């Protein structure tokens, strides 16, 4: 088209293009605060020219498409950093409750432990026959038990909260993935070779951003559609299909919620990272459960060491002490897919050997293996067969009794998980505190209820100490158990370098009730006598005394009498347990173990805060980079408004001029 009509026609296309561009710019300005909105840009192109009179004359312009200022790399960085920041935030938030629980050396648990030993046990050691002091010890024991149990309950509540939040996160993820799949369909049907539904694309990208805040994802462009996967490769969205997740019970522990596919129940928890869901799973596996196991280990060691010390001494009734504490049981959880009808139970036999780790126990039909889930180390466990088809398995301080297992059976063993949660006192009678040593040694023999010392030599019989097992060369007293009163009588005399004989009797008379006999090399290290503890909790243990000296006379005697109410020897040994190395194979004390647990949690808290700061910084940088490339800049849009306004006005002027020229032409024709 040429002439006046060409001028008008071209101006009309320019007017329309400017008007459309103004609309695009206005839409940008309107959505400056819309989350996920990508700046749009009008793309103009020249219409093909036409030849008139040997000349190519233009035919105006077209607005061919409206594009998004989209950068695939920057958008991927936003998704990745959003996932990392959300996961770090979730981990840090969850961690703070544990950090506050183990708040340092002055926390409630540390104070309760200190008061139990300092205000309880130490006072009984100083005043063993004082009933108020004993009652104070019982009260301090109850306070300590309540504090441990409360701490265990808080950790258990945190575990319950994690389960609930996992379910909420899964619901959100399912909603988002189904919406993404639906948008895939709409976008695919609305897309052409020249134009894309920008608003739908923005909505889909924003949904992926929200999804990445829940879980780390990887995104794959598939034509006009997006495929969404977990960072470990499990598909969440493919084309028009979304793959829903669901909560599922852990195959060993039904109280622990896992993440699984809704369609087939396959558990996906292992390896899931990022976002709220990844942060929750990380908190549970790396912080919460180790804290539960660590606190339970301390509780188990405290109960076993105090109860063992109780069993070594005598209470005010003259009996060996009964347990003061009871910690939670060993948990043995069968795999839900186990065949057969195996029964299995466990107990802690050596708290010093506890690692604080959990184990997977597996049976292949002939051999048992125990895998430490913290280190991954696998150990063969040789069973000891017993009566009734029951086999005993022992490893790392734990003893299991199992029967009916078949090949392929597996179990999860949690030795200390419930140690603190179910910790309690089982002794309330202050007179039952075993404050006295099992024996008091006196030179002389008992006559008419009194010890009469007429010894002529210089031999010494020690009051003794506890021995967990017998020693080589010791004289074992048979037929009687601690705390039976005993008398040691020399049957011959001699001086340094010679050997003399002796007998050990129970009951009255110098030779009646002989329960042991032996010899002593004078001037040497002495002879050890061991009195067994019998069939109680210390079965196989002994009270060990030593007879030594350089000069002995036949008839010299020593009396071993049970410690009375005024004796505090066992209470003193109990007080020493606070700093005694009773954990980690005799290398760590109760106080040291608690300090280490506090330090571990505090370190994790500090690391979580540092990781959160770093992740937020990266997320902010990614967002700023995306905003710079794809966001709306009002200054730029204002400049474009002026540009398109001027173009519109110029096109309108051209149309006006064309109309005027056309009117002039008509007037001229009419005048002719």
Domain positions in the chain: 3-69+633-671, 74-289+589-624, 290-425, 438-562
Contacts of 469 (CB under 8 A, 6+ apart): 540, 541, 542
What are the tens digits of pLDDT across the range 566-613? 999 999 999 999 888 888 888 898 888 888 898 899 999 999 999 999
CA 345 to chain centre: 24
What are the tens digits of pLDDT across the range 14-59? 888 888 888 988 998 999 999 999 998 988 889 888 888 778 888 8
Write down the pLDDT at residue 316: 96
Write down the pLDDT at residue 346: 94
What are the tens digits of pLDDT across the range 210-230? 999 999 999 999 888 999 999
CA 562 to chain centre: 48
Place of tokens 């703070």: 96
- The span from the CA of 361 to the CA of 410, in Å, is 5
- The span from the CA of 573 to the CA of 238, in Å, is 68
Tell how strand 557-561 and strand 235-238 pair up.
Answer: unpaired
- Using the 8-state DSSP alphabet, how is residue 563 labeled? -
Cβ burial 2-12 (10 Å sphere, 16+ → b, else e) = eebebbbbbbb
Write down the pLDDT at residue 510: 46
At 508, the pLDDT band (50, 70, 90 cuts) reads low
Q: Which of 197, 182, 171 is nearest to 237 (CA)?
A: 182
Residue 545 in 3-state DSSP? strand
Percentage of the chain beyond pLDDT 70 is 98
**Sheet containing strand 384-385, strands side by side:** 343-348, 398-403, 391-395, 384-385
- The span from the CA of 474 to the CA of 477, in Å, is 9
At 105, the pLDDT band (50, 70, 90 cuts) reads low
Cβ burial 583-612 (10 Å sphere, 16+ → b, else e) = bbeeebbbbebbeebbeebeebbeebbebb
What are the tens digits of pLDDT across the range 515-563? 999 999 999 999 999 999 988 889 999 999 999 999 999 999 999 999 9
Write down the pLDDT at residue 509: 47
CA distances from 276 to 94, 272, 313 (A): 11, 11, 54
Task: Supply the mean pLDDT for the chain.
Answer: 91
Write down the pLDDT at residue 275: 96
Q: Which of 651, 608, 546 is nearest to 99 (CA)?
A: 608
**Cα three-residue angle 280-613-161, rounded to 5 degrees:** 20
Place of tokens 């004993």: 134
- Give me the helices (H) in 191-265, please: 198-214
pLDDT at 104 over 80: no
- The span from the CA of 113 to the CA of 134, in Å, is 17
């Amino acid at each position: 088209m040429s002439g006046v009509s060409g001028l008008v026609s071209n101006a009309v296309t320019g007017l329309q293009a400017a008007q459309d561009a103004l609309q695009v710019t206005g839409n940008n300005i309107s959505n400056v605060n819309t989350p996920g909105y990508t700046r749009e840009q009008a793309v103009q192109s020249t219409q093909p020219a036409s030849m008139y009179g040997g000349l190519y004359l233009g035919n105006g312009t077209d607005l061919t498409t409206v594009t998004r200022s989209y950068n695939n790399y920057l958008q991927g960085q936003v998704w990745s950093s959003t996932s990392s920041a959300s996961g770090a935030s979730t981990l840090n938030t969850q961690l703070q409750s544990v950090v506050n629980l183990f708040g340092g050396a002055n926390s409630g648990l540390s104070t309760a432990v200190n008061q139990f030993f300092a205000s309880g046990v130490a006072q009984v050691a100083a005043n063993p026959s004082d009933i108020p002091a004993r009652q104070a010890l019982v009260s301090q024991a109850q306070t300590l038990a309540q504090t441990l149990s409360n701490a265990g309950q808080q950790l258990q509540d945190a575990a319950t909260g994690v389960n609930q939040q996992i379910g909420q996160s899964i619901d959100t993820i399912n909603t988002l993935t189904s919406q993404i799949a639906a948008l895939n369909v709409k976008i695919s049907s609305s897309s052409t070779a020249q134009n894309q539904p920008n608003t739908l694309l923005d909505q889909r990208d924003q949904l992926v951003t929200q999804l990445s805040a829940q879980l780390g994802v990887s995104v794959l462009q598939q034509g006009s559609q997006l495929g969404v996967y977990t960072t470990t490769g499990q598909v969440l969205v493919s084309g028009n299909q979304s793959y829903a997740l669901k909560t599922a019970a852990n195959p060993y522990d039904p109280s622990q919620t896992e993440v699984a596919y809704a369609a087939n129940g396959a558990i996906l928890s292992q390896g899931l990272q990022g976002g709220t869901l990844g942060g929750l799973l990380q908190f549970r596996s790396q912080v919460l459960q180790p804290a539960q196991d660590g606190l339970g280990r301390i509780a188990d060691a405290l109960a076993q060491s105090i109860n063992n010390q109780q069993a070594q001494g005598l209470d005010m009734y003259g009996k060996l002490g009964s347990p003061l504490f009871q910690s939670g049981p060993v948990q043995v959880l069968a795999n839900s897919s186990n065949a057969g009808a195996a029964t299995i139970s466990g107990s802690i036999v050596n708290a010093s050997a506890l690692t604080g780790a959990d184990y997977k126990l597996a049976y292949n039909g002939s051999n048992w293996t125990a895998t430490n889930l913290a280190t991954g180390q696998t150990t063969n466990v040789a069973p000891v067969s017993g009566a009734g088809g029951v086999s005993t398995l022992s490893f790392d301080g734990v003893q299991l009794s199992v029967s009916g297992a078949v090949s392929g059976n597996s179990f999860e063993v949690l030795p200390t998980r419930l140690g603190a949660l179910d910790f309690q006192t089982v002794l309330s009678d202050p007179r039952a505190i075993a404050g006295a040593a099992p024996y008091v040694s006196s030179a002389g023999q008992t006559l008419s209820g009194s010890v009469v010392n007429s010894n002529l030599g210089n031999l010494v019989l020690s009051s003794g100490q506890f021995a967990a097992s017998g020693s080589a060369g010791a004289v074992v007293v048979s037929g009687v158990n601690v705390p039976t009163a005993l008398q040691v009588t020399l049957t011959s005399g001699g001086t340094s370098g010679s050997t003399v004989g002796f007998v050990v009797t129970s009951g009255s008379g110098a030779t009646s009730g002989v329960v042991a006999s032996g010899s002593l090399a004078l001037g040497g290290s002495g002879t050890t006598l061991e009195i067994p503890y019998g069939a109680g909790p210390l079965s196989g243990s002994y009270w060990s005394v030593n007879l030594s000296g350089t000069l002995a006379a036949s008839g010299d005697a020593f009396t071993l009498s049970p410690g009375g109410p005024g004796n505090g020897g066992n209470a003193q040994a109990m007080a020493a347990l606070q700093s005694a190395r009773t954990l980690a194979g005799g290398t760590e004390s109760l106080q040291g173990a608690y300090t280490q647990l506090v330090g571990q949690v505090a370190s994790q808290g500090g690391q979580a805060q540092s990781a959160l700061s770093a992740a937020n910084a990266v997320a902010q940088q990614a967002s700023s980079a995306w905003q710079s490339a794809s966001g709306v800049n009002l200054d730029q849009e204002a400049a474009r408004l002026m540009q398109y306004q001027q173009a519109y006005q110029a096109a309108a002027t051209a149309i006006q001029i064309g109309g005027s020229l056309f009117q002039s032409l008509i007037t001229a024709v009419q005048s002719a």
